Amino acid sequence: MAGPTGFSINMLKGILNNISVALLLICLSAACGRKNVEVSLNRDSVIYPDYTGVTVPSNIAPLNFHYTSDGIRKARTTVRFRDFSLSFAGKEVVWELDQWRSLLSSAEGDTLRFASELSLKGGRKESFEWEIYVSSDKIDPYLSYRLIEPGYEVWHEIEIRERCLENFDERILSDWKNTDNSCMNCHIHSQARADLSMFYVRGKKGGAFLNRNGEIRKLSLNVKNMISGTVYGEIHPSGRYGVFSSNIIIPGFHTLGSRRLEVYDTKSDLAIADFDNNMMILPPELARKDVLETFPVFSADGDYIYYCAADTLPLPRDIEKLRYSLVRISFDEEIGRTGRNVEVVWDADEHDASVCHPKCSPDGRWIMYTVADYGTFPIWHTECQLEMMDLRTGEIIGMDEVNSDRSDTYHSWSSDSRWFVFASKRGDGKYGRPYFCHVDETGRFGKPFVLPQKDPWHYENSLLSFNIPDLSDGPVDFDAETIGRMLRETEAETFGSY
């Protein structure tokens, strides 16, 4: 494998002189920026989005689509379920919401059958049949994500949005207009709970916005002996604690045409925030100088902290040797302390690969994570894929039915652990889209499907990526104006440490 020679840090020196490293990390590591690129979906399916053979929840919004064949003169689509039959004329299929809801409600646990008939130029005809399975497992009805333009620059006109998955309603939770065009990282929920979530607004008036039991707090999670402010993290199921990484990050560009951007840690530790007492807990076991620690999450019961760890190496020279293992350490909620022993769950040397973005299913059965050849910045790695482990047995579950030949990465679980959403660059390799996938109690997966849109041509006409999709069991109790007002008028709560 060729080395990433020619990293160009000088081109970012002006940014580094004016912006904190933590800010730069969040903006670059999630690929925020402004860079117009052509949309090329490279579709293999005769319909787009490809909804053939997918498994969907019975409360999902209508799966509107269009045919992709060239030279279509006429098209007819017939949908059948038991005694029900409905036909659509034309190369677009757009459902009425009430009609779609009624059909899915009747078809729970059963299959919808489609027949497509196309008349093409030259007198040619095409016909084919396909199915959609309607699961009786409903999905959490809300999804939040950051809507950004893919690129390598810092940020511009970022929005965090919340979409109702049962229809096409969408609203803005935080945006550039109300935050003086500040960089924002994405909105994460604890176990898909609408009443327990958090995101950052960066900059001198910024902070971590914690949404807990109907109260919004603006927090400064940075104390002496931390190497930076908090970056990646998750909230404990109790809501009292959060676990976070603090990172010193360097971005760099490849000279290799097949790769684009790397972001790597030069230092990284973990810290625990006690939100009840405004204290940061800095366990020495999570702040070793010879180990890079990042992407911490809690187990479903809150008794363990899972995170990614790698031995320090000379960087960027040895970037392709930088491989992270998945490890865990016990956590005692009563006293807010970790144990002393770190247990390896997934060994990077054994797998000759690197892991990032672990997430535990709320039922405690599974942990899902991203695997790449090296490092912790996989969004431009075409080899990047999702993998899952059974926490009861340690068995690794392959996800060939889910992964593609492009980057498949950051995911979040539904509250019942039967669905997950993940970000995928499948198709054009540039734009991240949210894909949903069903997993049953045995670890078998359905075929993923992309977030439905009212306009069946939406993804062809959009130049925006959906970044860090996160499921929620309801809408949150704040909006962009609330966040903007708090940013301007509220001082961030400070924390002590022990």
Q: What is the 3-state secondary structure (H, E, C) of 476-487?
A: CCCCHHHHHHHH
Q: How far apart are CA 244 and CA 256, in angstroms?
A: 33
201 and 65: one domain? no
Q: Considering the domain boundaries, does residue 76 fall inside one?
A: yes
Assess whether the previous peptide bond of 456 is cis (omega < 30° from 0).
Answer: no
125 and 150: one domain? no
80 and 144: one domain? no
Tokens of 490: 């509220």
Supply the CATH number for residue 89's domain.
2.60.40
pLDDT at 333 over 70: yes
Q: Which of 101, 116, 135 is the last residue of a domain?
A: 135
Percent of residues, the chain, with pLDDT higher than 70: 87
Tokens of 76: 């007819």
What does pTM read for this prediction? 0.88
Q: How far apart are CA 167 and CA 100, in angstroms?
A: 10
Span 121-144, mean pLDDT? 96
Supply the CATH number for residue 255's domain.
2.120.10.30
Tokens of 222: 């940075």
94 and 71: one domain? yes
pLDDT at 301 over 90: yes
Res. 228 pLDDT band, cuts 50 70 90: very high
Q: How far apart are CA 6 and CA 254, in angstroms?
A: 6
270 and 215: one domain? yes
pLDDT at 1: 33
pLDDT at 5 over 80: no
146 and 280: one domain? yes
Tokens of 279: 């204290």
Q: Is 448 helix (H, G, I), strand (E, B) or coil?
A: coil
Q: Considering the domain boundaries, does residue 442 fall inside one?
A: yes
Q: Considering the domain boundaries, does residue 496 fall inside one?
A: no
237-270 tens-digit pLDDT? 999 999 999 988 776 655 554 555 677 778 999 9
Q: Which of 96, 112, 135 is the last residue of a domain?
A: 135
Tokens of 170: 């969408």
pLDDT at 259: 55
pLDDT at 278: 98
Least confident piece of the model among 69-83, 310-324, 375-389: 375-389
pLDDT at 19: 31
pLDDT at 185: 84
Q: How far apart are CA 385 and CA 407, in angstroms?
A: 6
| Residue 91 near residue 70 (C-beta atoms within 8 A) | no
Q: Considering the domain boundaries, does residue 216 fall inside one?
A: yes
Span 431-457, mean pLDDT? 96
Res. 6 pLDDT band, cuts 50 70 90: very low
35 and 52: one domain? no
pLDDT at 3 over 80: no
Span 92-110, mean pLDDT? 97
Between 409 and 174, the higher pLDDT residue:
174
Between 378 and 34, the higher pLDDT residue:
378
Q: Considering the domain boundaries, does residue 366 fall inside one?
A: yes
Span 160-172, mean pLDDT? 97
Neighbours of 303 (CB within 10 A): 15
- Torsion angle, CA of 63/145/11/6, rounded to 10 degrees? -60
Span 107-133, mean pLDDT? 96
| Residue 155 near residue 172 (C-beta atoms within 8 A) | no
Res. 366 pLDDT band, cuts 50 70 90: very high
Q: Considering the domain boundaries, does residue 497 fall inside one?
A: no
Distances (CA, A) of 226 to 1, 231, 419: 36, 12, 36
pLDDT at 32: 36
Q: Which of 79, 114, 135 is the last residue of a domain?
A: 135
Neighbours of 199 (CB within 10 A): 21
Between 197 and 314, the higher pLDDT residue:
197
194 and 248: one domain? yes
161 and 286: one domain? yes
- Torsion angle, CA of 205/210/215/216, rounded to 10 degrees? 20
**Structural domain of 114:** 47-135
Span 154-178, mean pLDDT? 90
Neighbours of 71 (CB within 10 A): 10
> In the chain, how many domains are there?
2
Percent of residues, the chain, with pLDDT higher than 90: 72
Between 205 and 383, the higher pLDDT residue:
205
Pairing of strands 55-57, 125-135: parallel
275 and 394: one domain? yes
Q: Considering the domain boundaries, does residue 494 fall inside one?
A: no
56 and 194: one domain? no
Q: Considering the domain boundaries, does residue 498 fall inside one?
A: no
Least confident piece of the model among 47-56, 153-162, 169-178, 270-279: 153-162
SS3 content of the chain, % helix, strand, coil (to 5): 10, 40, 45
330 and 439: one domain? yes
